[in-house]
Amino acid sequence: MSVSDFMTKNLVVAQPEMKIFDAVDLMKKNNIHRLPVVRDEQVIGLITEGTIQSALPSKATSLSVYEVNYLLNKTTVADIMVKEVQTIEPEASLEDGIFRMRQNNIGVLPVVDSNKNPVGIITNNDIFDAFLKITGYNDGGTRIQLRIPEDHKGILADITKLLAENDFSILTVVVNRKELETIIELQIESRETNQIKKILEDANYDIFEATFISKKV
């Protein structure tokens, strides 16, 4: 899966000459928390709720309300934006995007094409949505967790063959390798949790958990 599969494509941007108050209004209107700053179709910065908050005068300031408003009305996005912006390409893998966010301790990556033109944005919330999709959380069905001994080659082929022979379809598979064992989590398109559990137990699989999950609307 690539960044383009999960990025937000309807990009809302700010211009460097935009006043801070206007940027705040733009965020509120679109229910977002960050704005790439664009000039001549190039990303030149990033403004977030955090950078705006840092730019606001402290409550301990001796400035009057009128002086504070005067200063803020003169302050533009370019004055406070983050200038060193990490970006990523749409064809990059989702894992690369997550790694770059973690390495740089950031929660957003503007997505740019080969000409450095902005084509989207991916945030930590998009990553959460991707995880829910990958694990089949919204699809519903029977979720089975199997505890598999270490070095059991061909186990996935055996499991899928067994379920297919009993007319069950697998929606998602997640493999979690631990030091001495592997946990395989299957999401199966069926409400017949007990029947699936029995089929696997009869085939001598160690079932760690078996639950039915309702489809999310």
What percent of the chain lies above the pLDDT cut of 90? 66
48-86: b or e for each residue (b if 16 or more CB lie within 10 Å)? Answer: beebbeeeeeeeeeeeeeeeeeeebeebbbbebbeeebe
109 and 40 within one domain: yes
35 and 120 within one domain: yes
Please tell me the pTM assigned to this model: 0.77
Sign of CA dihedral 29, 32, 36, 40: negative
Task: Point out the domain boundary residue: 127, 146, 174.
Answer: 127
Count up the domains in the chain and report the number: 2
Sign of CA dihedral 119, 123, 127, 130: negative
Question: CATH number for the domain including 169?
Answer: 3.30.2130.10
116 and 43 within one domain: yes
| Residue 132 covered by a domain | no
Q: Helix 20-30 vs helix 65-74: angle between axes, to the nearest 10 degrees?
A: 80
Kindly state the average pLDDT of the residues 68-84. 81
Query: Which residues does 109 contact at the CB level (< 8 Å), separation at least 6?
Result: 3, 86, 87, 88, 97, 100, 101, 121, 122, 123
102 and 33 within one domain: yes
Q: Can you give the residue range of the structural domain that contains 200? A: 138-213
Residue 60, pLDDT score: 45
Residue range 150-173, pLDDT digits in tens: 767 788 999 999 999 999 999 999
Residue 213, pLDDT score: 87
Query: Which residues does 66 contact at the CB level (< 8 Å), separation at least 6?
Result: none
Q: How high is the mean pLDDT of the chain?
A: 88
154 and 175 within one domain: yes
Task: Point out the domain boundary residue: 104, 127, 150.
Answer: 127
Residue range 27-38, pLDDT digits in tens: 999 999 999 999
Please say if the pLDDT value at position 15 is more than 80. Answer: yes
| Residue 57 covered by a domain | yes
Residue 120, pLDDT score: 95
147 and 96 within one domain: no
Question: CATH number for the domain including 31?
Answer: 3.10.580.10
Please say if the pLDDT value at position 62 is more than 70. Answer: no
